[in-house]
Amino acid sequence: MKPFAARIVDWQHLHGRHSLPWQQTRDTYRIWLSEIMLQQTQVATVVGYYERFLARFPDVNCLAGAAEDEVLALWSGLGYYSRARNLHAAAQRIVAAHAGRFPPTAAGLMQLPGIGRSTAAAVAALACGERCAILDGNVKRVLARHAGIAGWPGDKRVENDLWQCAESRLPAKDIESYTQGMMDLGAMVCTRTQPDCAHCPVAADCVAHTENRTHTLPTPRPKKVLPERQTQMLLLLDRGELLLEKRPARGIWGGLWSLPELDAAADCSLHCQQRWGYDVEAQHALPPLIHGFTHFRLTIQPMRLHLAPRTTTPPGHVWLPLADVLDAALPAPVRKLLAPLSAT
């Protein structure tokens, strides 16, 4: 039987993915961009964003010179917005400190904002041919099953065991095909709920397969009840324009444009008068929207309020015509709330 890595490489050449838009290139910028977008996001979702982003920012210098609002607007809907802010910050550092050239090693890439150990290794392997191990979600699943490593991969001890396993299996050559093959195998064959062991190149000596443990490895995240939170979001309308509020740079939806919020039980009209001096002529509640985060569930109660003509714009806010609001950098649930409004 061939070594584990050799079987992965052979399988990738015959059955792996070869037509994704960031493949068939050694351009570090394009590979880096794809790897950041693919963090916690599926390929099918990323492709469209990647192509639009690349059309607007074809190289690291273009990205570094852009305004953060424009970067966030193109990222809007992809989620985990700290990735976009870090992407922008990393591009600026590459231009300012590295003359527009990416560090050629995983160790160097890890010094940039938003690039952890696995992402740095993936970029270094695929763009520069560096022999280093990756450990994204798909690879964790492949290794946990094949090596029989029990325990939730988010636990530090288990993660350390997986890193040791990943490093011990690296091939002496063909690191690009091996790295891509590990990602492809986890995404296409060794899937979370329905692994296709009959077509797996390493099933013959896979612990999970031979011991009938594919449904228990890797060990799922310990279940916990997510806290529930409620908020009101205000759709403030005046003469065909909507008020948007800039979120703080840190925290949920950092740096994005959103709707003003207040406590679920607060009086909307009184809030508008006391905070901005706006008089509300009419208001009504829209259907609530539930949005799930990693650590809690948020119930949003949208309130549509028509204002008497205003004369001021508060600092950190902007009034936009309804036809233009979807061009702003909006969180996904806010975009969902505003889509019907902007179409009228």
Active-site residue numbers?
Answer: 35
Q: How far apart are CA 130 and CA 121, in angstroms?
A: 8
Helix (H, G, I), strand (E, B) or coil at 49: helix
31's CB contacts (< 8 A; 6+ apart) are 22, 25, 122, 123, 126, 127
Q: Do the Cβ atoms of 271 and 298 come closer than 8 Å? A: no
Among residues 53, 218, 71, which one has the least CA distance to residue 145?
218
> Number of C-alpha atoms within 13 angstroms, CB side, residue 321?
2
Among residues 191, 11, 212, which one has the least CA distance to residue 2?
11
| Cα 261 to Cα 49, 240, 268, 319, distances in angstroms | 28, 20, 10, 16
Among residues 8, 31, 271, which one has the least CA distance to residue 139?
8
Among residues 280, 296, 299, 277, which one has the least CA distance to residue 288?
299
